[in-house]
């Protein structure tokens, strides 16, 4: 059974930093691209960032480019999202999601499994 478990959320002051983690199990983690998707309170889903299976390619939404960094450790079956210079508008539940298709064929594919999310609150 595929499981994705996010952690690392919390209350942070504007301008602060945070590292989110997503521990994966139940599939061959090193062969799948992974993604982060967020949802602000009462709002819709927003794609944030994605990373290829070997970590060699990364992608970012315009709203977070330059402030967020996605990375992964395939030896630990974990994907990370490093968040810097946090703003109030970054307040959201951050979900980790797995692509449906392994290796390089993930671009147009769906997110077939999601974690339960971790809440990031940016407030002074």
Q: Collect all residues with Cβ–Cβ distance below 8 Å to 96 and sequence separation of at least 6.
A: 4, 6, 20, 22, 24, 34, 35, 36, 79, 114, 115
Alpha-carbon distance of 1 to 102, in angstroms, equals: 16
Q: Which CB, 108 or 124, lies closer to another protein?
A: 108
CA nearest to 61, candidates 90, 32, 104: 90
Q: Which CB, 104 or 107, lies closer to another protein?
A: 107
Residue 109: CB minimum distance to another protein, A: 7
Q: Which CB, 62 or 89, lies closer to another protein?
A: 62
Q: Which CB, 13 or 109, lies closer to another protein?
A: 109
Summarize as ranges the residues that interact with another protein (CB under 8 A). 35, 37, 44-47, 50, 59, 61-62, 95, 100, 107-117
Q: Collect all residues with Cβ–Cβ distance below 8 Å to 19 and sequence separation of at least 6.
A: 8, 80, 81, 82, 83
């Amino acid at each position: 059974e595929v499981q994705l478990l996010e952690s690392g959320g919390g209350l942070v002051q504007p301008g602060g930093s945070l590292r989110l983690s997503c521990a994966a199990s139940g599939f061959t983690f090193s062969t799948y691209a992974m993604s982060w998707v967020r949802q602000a309170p009462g709002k819709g889903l927003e794609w944030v960032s994605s990373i290829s299976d070997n970590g060699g390619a990364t992608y970012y939404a315009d709203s977070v480019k330059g402030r967020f960094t996605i990375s992964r450790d395939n030896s630990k079956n974990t994907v990370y999202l490093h968040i810097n210079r946090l703003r109030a508008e970054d307040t959201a539940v951050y979900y980790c999601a797995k692509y449906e298709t392994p290796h390089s064929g993930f671009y147009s594919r769906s997110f077939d499994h999601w974690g339960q999310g971790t809440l990031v609150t940016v407030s002074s």
